[in-house]
Structure 1
């Protein structure tokens, strides 16, 4: 098996010439036609593998790629020449995929028809192969365009790979993507959005804390990139929400593993992720208020509040402004450098060689995870001890801590498979706490959003409707009871770690 470290970027077709001009070196153009194979139930895909047979200038080759091989952008690869049109089962049996297929029939799932322009670039003491692919994926009668750039490190340090990527990004819009052609092809064949089925990080009992962080970071960054791509392609409430959650989860992960990484180069990435989430916040909050408060009232018969039409107009105006800001934050020139900086830090950041963190990096992942979960849960329970006495800001701080605990549980749970029922209770109670505290926060935030939108419009009827739609006291009481019950459950259940 060879270990390759590569970066993949989606590019606009019209940016291809600018990329090639910047790369400068002479190269070759090849025609690459590949067919991807799997079992009827897609066992290879579910196990994180992609199997293709490709015809190119070097003849016909069979290639098996794994989703990961130890690093953020490292992938396992098994490649060998073949003579027949389909996969060579004997060669496949010599790889980890042999036991997964286990004699089942392999059939074509999709094909890739690509023209590849190659450049071999020397940069920062490293040799990097740049491959510009243009063509399409084919699954039955369905087609999807391919326009992407791959940078593969041949020799030298990974930092040089990221430096070259930054240089190219400064000259053309590049969108970092952790979705392979195989994933996109499967999505096309199944009628899904690319990256919709990204698997959770694979964590094992024998992992060190640093290895677990890289595995989780890879997954979180991949989901962030998929969400940004989805928002750019089809803006809407779900896309805004998914990107905001992805940014928050990745930032929470950076905080969770701070004892392992220290503060080296982490703060800029964390601050940028916070800024991204904040830029998406108004669009998300307005989406929620319009869907859950204004629209039900506007569609009621008879309408319980006057001025709802005027308030609706004001909300739509505010929503359009908020979406403009959200799309600007997810645009390649803003999002691209952020994603690349996180990627570079995960794969080749200073934290990996910090002599003061050697012991922390080598701490068994289970030991590290148990300590962090214990600390986070203790903090949440302490802050929620006298819930009714907390003001809005204190409840909001509790909600943020609870959200951090929820993200930590989701990330670290695979390390503790021995108590599934306890895990289920912890997850459910924490989710209930977040729902209740989120509802209380939405009440206060929604009223403020509606008031601000009405004032910006300068319409007294809109302002009246905004005030009239404020939540009733009984709703607040119900949410408080639910939050207290969830905290009591968290206090009662035994740890799953």
Structure 2
């Protein structure tokens, strides 16, 4: 088994042309045509287990490659098993051994094909050697086709920072986005259906993992959540994908906040503010999406569909800006190269997650209790702060819950999660009213206005009851 360390960059056709024509790489040192067929069982056992298996046909012959998850969460590293084969039919022995099943029980078959022209360069630097592979082509699954243009920077020798140094020089030539979806994953998405959004996938940190390592893994999962939905949004303009991007950024800022004691303080603060800016750049489009679905007087006063489309254009421009592209590259380098730790040796960085998490969760619970006092008498702005405090507690609870694995902890977490979901729903309705009311058609009917006031009072009572249920729930971390 080998560990493949590579950085994947997603390109537009214009970016491909600019990079190929720039003097940085020069003429390609080799160009090959590759045909890769990916195999799995009818119930997608390999994919569900985190593996992919392909047979690649090249001018040099056939190669079977199995890829699996790395030893730790990373956008750079995956485990890889590769060897020449004589047939286009997979050898089941290797993958059966990894899955712990009888080879004869595996019914493997082709699912989709990736056709690419690969151009290769080898970049020599004082601190390392990098193989640069530009793949242009398409993925074919039945009658569905997906264009493909990506640049893979594979580290042959040296440290990870060498990859990011080259990526920084490439970004000065042409824009790109960090790739988080493999060709295999793209093929499965193309084969099955186009998604309107992706929910965050839970990473299960071990209770004994160091808090700093848990932060890195969880932050990378947030980056993947954001980028998966960004790709969907840019392709389909799906409103729910836009919403999930904002969720990913809020989760990431919550994680940075709770782990701030052992992070490089200046960098952590800068990244948190930049992620706040990016989330804010998407806010108007999200607000108008929500407003456009309402049948009541709040929607009647909404800006035109032209304004909603204009807000989405502004969101797309923010995502395509050099500020956003720089942010994602810098943040990934900060995580992958271990620069996120502060210069001082804070003992909390090495503390097991099972010890770090309870204090963090208890602190967030106290903050929610403090901010929600006299809930019904709070202003809209103060209730919004309560909503943010509740979200932060919910996100961090989702991050750290796997560190508490007893049956009692799992029962308590389920009750907490249900109570928190109800609270978020009620606070969300109140926030929608506060946010959208300024856009509504004024209601001159005093009777309807009185009923609206009664409805608001009911919403406040329900939210207050849900808040009490959350604060009364027994902590699952004790």
Given the alignment of the two structures, is residue 386 of structure 1 paired with residue 374 of structure 2, yes or no? yes
Partner of 1:455: none
Decide whether the 8 Å contact of 2:197 with 2:240 is kept in 1: no
Change in Cα spacing, 1:379 to 1:165, as seen in structure 2 (3 Å) is same
- Residue 197 of structure 1 deviates from its aligned partner by 7.4
- Residue 417 of structure 1 deviates from its aligned partner by 3.0
TM-score by length of 2: 0.91
Report 1:6-85 matches (<5 A).
6-20=6-20, 21=22, 22-24=24-26, 26-72=28-74, 73-85=76-88
Report 1:11-410 matches (<5 A).
11-20=11-20, 21=22, 22-24=24-26, 26-72=28-74, 73-94=76-97, 96-99=98-101, 103-123=105-125, 125-193=127-195, 196=198, 199-292=201-294, 295-297=295-297, 308=300, 311-312=301-302, 314-331=303-320, 333-352=322-341, 354-357=343-346, 359-410=347-398
Decide whether the 8 Å contact of 1:276 with 1:329 is kept in 2: yes
Decide whether the 8 Å contact of 2:419 with 2:466 is kept in 1: yes
C-alpha offsets along residues 94-124 of structure 1, whole Å, 9 cap, x if unaligned? Answer: 4x33449783222212111111101111246
Change in Cα spacing, 1:463 to 1:391, as seen in structure 2 (3 Å) is closer
* Helix, strand or coil at the partner of 1:81: strand
- Residue 352 of structure 1 deviates from its aligned partner by 4.3
Partner of 1:472: 452
Instruction: Give the whole-Å Cα distance in 1 for the aligned partners of 2:102 and 2:439.
Output: 53
Instruction: Give the whole-Å Cα distance in 2 for the aligned partners of 1:178 and 1:466.
Output: 53
Given the alignment of the two structures, is residue 414 of structure 1 paired with residue 402 of structure 2, yes or no? yes
- Residue 348 of structure 1 deviates from its aligned partner by 1.0
Give aligned pairs, total. Answer: 471
C-alpha offsets along residues 195-242 of structure 1, whole Å, 9 cap, x if unaligned? Answer: 847742232233222222222112110111122222222224223212
Instruction: Give the whole-Å Cα distance in 2 for the aligned partners of 1:191 and 1:465.
Output: 48
Instruction: Give the whole-Å Cα distance in 2 for the aligned partners of 1:124 and 1:405.
Output: 46
Decide whether the 8 Å contact of 2:196 with 2:240 is kept in 1: no
* Helix, strand or coil at the partner of 2:9: strand
Specify every segment of 5 or more residues in structure 2 that has no aligned partner in the other structure, as ranges.
none
- Residue 404 of structure 1 deviates from its aligned partner by 0.4
Per mean C-alpha deviation after superposition, the further-off stretch among 81-90 and 195-204 is 195-204
Specify every segment of 5 or more residues in structure 1 that has no aligned partner in the other structure, as ranges.
300-307, 451-461
Aligned with 1:486 (options 459, 466, 470):
466
Partner of 1:4: 4
Instruction: Give the whole-Å Cα distance in 2 for the aligned partners of 1:192 and 1:290.
Output: 23
Per mean C-alpha deviation after superposition, the further-off stretch among 155-164 and 400-409 is 155-164
Aligned-residue Cα RMSD (Å) equals 2.7
* Helix, strand or coil at the partner of 2:345: helix
